[in-house]
A and B are shown apart, each in its own frame.
Chain A
Amino acid sequence: MDRREPIPRPADGASTPTPVPALPNRRAANGEGRSRLRGWLASPVALLPLGLVALVAAVLLWESRLANLGPSFWGLNYFFDPSGGAPSVFGVSLFLVDSAIVAGPALALASGLSLAIAISTVVYLPPAPSRLLTLLTNLLAGIPSVVYGIWGYVVLAPYFGTTAQPTLRGFLGWLPGFGGPLSAGGVGSLLAIFILTIMVIPITAAVMRESLRNVPNDLVEAGLALGATPWEVVRRVRLRAARRGLWGAVFLGLGRAIGESVAVAMVIGASIQIPPNLYTPSTTLASFIFYQLDSAFFYPNLLTALTEFALVLLAVALVVNLLGQRASGADATVIVTGGGRG
């Protein structure tokens, strides 16, 4: 953040107003009592966002009240029979595992690339190209996820089927998860990982850039003065000083990766299974509850189960998001938005 501290004034009398701290709320020195009253009256308004979060959680909790939270809910089995002949089993863990299989590699790739981008923009590139590339990264964040989806499904999938998958298997087939049957049309986990990587990068890159930029100049200058090369300063000073923020970026990226529904639904092949390898069609928690909802309107038990899944997704997203905010020093929304400072 480029928020400036107020310049401390010389103490020239008791009437000097106390310097206003940068972030906490300001109160006029006069009318403190009235101001405090007004402050508490204002609280409900300031807490509107909290109210919205609570409302979302409350509605989902209420709608999933009928779900049978038996041990089978946390199990790896999912079976739904529309005719109601056989008893249905709604296990959420299957989808959590699938989500992890897709989000994990995507996040790892995105974090590495984002770190490289952040280091380049903060340390190596001159200001003008650095700003241009930041603008382009923000543009990446603004592209609607369905657009990634249709590009992935129509343009990339055939290429993945004929070229990318066989090539990857040729080189890495001996590794577990990289061998085995390919997905004929190209849709599957690998394509979802690829698309998701591109979608996560803008967020992780933005937060990483801010954390690297916020490393105190004293530390950087000290390193340079000791004769370290720029890369040595990055490795031994910047990366260490910004470590928390970098982890925060990874968690915020994870939040995006597990929450993405539409683009993943379009390219992953929608197959309810734990994929035997990276190429096979599979599903994720978020994409499953997205494309399955319209089949659920006529089956109350399916609708309740899906709502319960949505609740699990909400819980996971909240935990990941709070961890990310804590580590990155909050204000991720503002960082990603550019906060009016580009």
Chain B
Amino acid sequence: MAQLTVGTRLRSAVCETEVMVVGAPEGDVELTCGGAPMIGIDEQPPEGGSVDPAAAEGTAVGKRYTNDAGDIEVLCTKAGEGSLGLGGEILGQKDAKALPSSD
């Protein structure tokens, strides 16, 4: 459990997923990926971990993920096989409004 701050980068302990926090709730929370707590971007994942089949929909690079309450938002910077989760809830992909290129 930790207070997340905008700009923090985390990696999955059980797949290739990497994320950056874009919006964070107040207070300590535990972000998971593939069912396991995420770890710091510079930490080594423990050996032998595997993706929980209940959290294995995968992540896509460049997509943003959020919960129903909308108080957390992360950007996937590297894709993996696990799904992101917070407090048992699987985070959903946030649809961005398509904008025309302007510069």
- A and B bind: no
